Every structure is written in structure tokens, then in C-alpha cells.
Amino acid sequence: MKFTVDQNQCIGCGACESICPDVFKMPDDKAQVILNPVPENRQPDALAAEDGCPVGAISHTND
């Protein structure tokens, strides 16, 4: 499972990093994915972060 943050949509709220800091980081004012592909044991949190993004900037593929 691979995750992507749309840099044009991200508003830098930091929610994804709070929910899943192993996968999402805020090096500046936009979130970055730091672990791709996401290992199985981190996928539930990463999916929760995707669900919790207020602007729908996070997406994933199942490859």
C-alpha cells in the first residue's frame, strides 16, 4: 500500500502527522509521506490519517 499527499490540496493542518507519525511528517508547511510502501502494521493508522484529512489530500494505492 502506497500513500500520496497532494501538495496542492494540503493545508498543513498536521492532523495526519498526529494520527500516523511513522508515515506522515511536516518538514515545512505541507505533509510528506516518509515511508512508502507502508508496512502492513502501519496501514490502519495511515488509512485513519487519510480518512481524517479535512481536505481529502491523502490517497493510496493497493500495490
The yes or no reply on residue 35 touching ligand SF4 (CB under 6 A) is: no
Q: Tell me the torsion sign for CA atoms 31, 13, 42, 3.
A: negative
State how far the Cα of 3 lies from the Cα of 46, in Å rounded to an integer: 8
# of chain residues touching ligand SF4 (CB under 6 A): 15
What string marks each residue from 5 to 34 as x (binds ligand SF4 by CB under 6 A) or -?
A: x----xxxxxxx-------x------x---
Name which of 15 and 46 has its Cβ closer to ligand SF4. Answer: 15
State how far the Cα of 42 lies from the Cα of 23, in Å rounded to an integer: 8
Question: What is the footprint of ligand SF4 within residues 39-58 (CB under 6 A)?
Answer: 53-55, 57-58
